[in-house]
Amino acid sequence: MTGATAAADAAFIRCTRLTKVFRRGDTEIVPLRDLDLEIPRGAFVSLMGPSGSGKTTLLNLLAGLDGATRGELWIDGQELSRLSRDQLARWRAKSVGIIFQSYNLVPVLTAYENVELPLLLHDLSRRERHERTMAALETVSLVDRASHFPRQLSGGQEQRVAIARAIVADPPLLLADEPTGDLDRVSADLVLDLLGRLHRERGRTIVMVTHDPLAAARAPLKLHLDKGALESTRVDSVSMEGARTAAGEVAP
């Protein structure tokens, strides 16, 4: 792996021989096997693959929500497996925003309070929290829904609140697991527009799992996961805006 050091410096996310094994009694499920992957800073990557191919599993590893069985996972110069559960929580609070297919808003909290949640973990005054929360709601065009509870919002609006929550603390990395999976075309396009803007205008690194080819088409970088390995990688370098090409090496 000559020249790997240089690549590692440039890569925002780097997995080497990343493996995840689930054990259920005697059966072993290996959704990820010896995965090698590099994603540059500021990339917008779509991750596709058949059901059960390990997309969610990979995203959970990237988010530090689950630990790898083997291999290394570096994100922004931090090897995640060396962090304790508490350190991972702290790392998540400042480094990752997660967007789920089912929105996962806290039902008893208003849109505003849901968006404010990550800021409670930062040393900010109430005023600063308010400004940032309103700015995030502004970004997703839901300022007028701030005091609504999730059940009073449409699915598309809920997902936009979830996006506001993911970006409010300004994390460099956004992870989205089928963010448009439950949405109609119009709402889905709104969400995808948002993600595209966050990538283009704010330089966020985004990894988005999707089954929707139209959604995947929005991402300049497309990865295809199958049977625990990246089977194909297509790089649309035109829209990479000068970022090093890189991205996903096919596992041998």
Partner 1 sequence: MILLRTAALSLRMLARSRVRAALAVAGIAVAVFILCAERAVHSGIVEATAANERDTRLIVYRANRFCPFTSRLPERYADEVASIEGVKSAVPMQIVVSNCRASLDVVVFRGVRAADAARGIAARVRFVEGSLDAFLARGDGALVGSALAARRGLKPGDRLSAAGITVTVAGIVDADGPQDRNACFVQLPFLQAAAGGVQGGEVTQLEVEVADPAKLREVATLIDARFATDLAPTTTRPEKAFVARAAADLVAIAEFAGFLGVGALLAIFALVANAIVLSLEHRTRELAVLQSVGFPGKALAFGIVVESSALAFVGAVVGAGAASLVLGLGRFSLGAEGVLVEFRPSGVTAAASVALALAVGIAAGLIPAIAASRKAIVEGLRAA
Closest CB to Mg ion among 172 and 181? 181
> Minimum distance between the CB of residue 181 and ligand ATP, rounded to whole angstroms?
9
Nearer to ligand ATP, 52 or 77 (CB): 52
Asked if 99 and 36 touch (Cβ cutoff 8 Å), the reply is no
- Hey, how many other C-beta atoms are within 10 angstroms of the C-beta on 174? 23
Window 3-22: residues binding ligand ATP (CB under 6 A): 22
Instruction: Give every CB contact of residue 181 below 8 A, 6+ residues apart in sequence.
Output: 101, 210, 211, 212
Pick one of 4, 23, 29, 94: the residue that binds partner 1 (CB under 8 A). 94
Which among 12, 8, 154 has a CA at the least distance from the CA of 76? 12
Gap between the Cα atoms of 118 and 129, Å rounded: 10
C-beta of 89 vs 217, nearer to partner 1: 89
| Contact partners, residue 246, CB within 8 Å, separation at least 6 | 7, 10, 11, 38, 39, 40
Minimal distance in Å, beta carbon 120 to partner 1?
Answer: 4
Residue 109 sits in the site that holds partner 1 (CB under 8 A): yes
Q: Is 54 in the site for ligand ATP (CB under 6 A)?
A: yes
User: Please, are residues 62 and 175 in contact by the beta-carbon 8 Å criterion?
Assistant: yes
DSSP 100: -
Of residues 61, 14, 10, the one with CA closest to residue 37: 14
Q: Per CB under 8 A, does 90 bind partner 1? A: yes
Candidate segments 53-61, 117-125, 149-157, 197-205, binder of ligand ATP by CB under 6 A: 53-61
State the Cα angle at 252 between 5 and 33, rounded to 5°.
90
CB 225 within 8 A of CB 52: no
Instruction: Indicate the residue among 56 and 133 with the shorter CB distance to Mg ion.
Output: 56
Should residue 118 be labelled a site residue for partner 1 when binding is judged by CB under 8 A? Answer: yes
- Contacted by 132, from ligand ATP, Mg ion, partner 1, none: CB < 5 to 8 Å by type: none
Q: Interface with ligand ATP includes 77 (CB under 6 A)?
A: no
Q: Which residues bind ligand ATP (CB under 6 A)?
A: 22, 24, 29, 31, 49, 51-57
Q: Which residues bind Mg ion (CB under 5 A)?
A: 56
Q: Which residues bind partner 1 (CB under 8 A)?
A: 60, 63, 65-66, 85-86, 89-90, 92-94, 98, 100, 104, 106-109, 113, 117-118, 120-121, 123, 165, 169
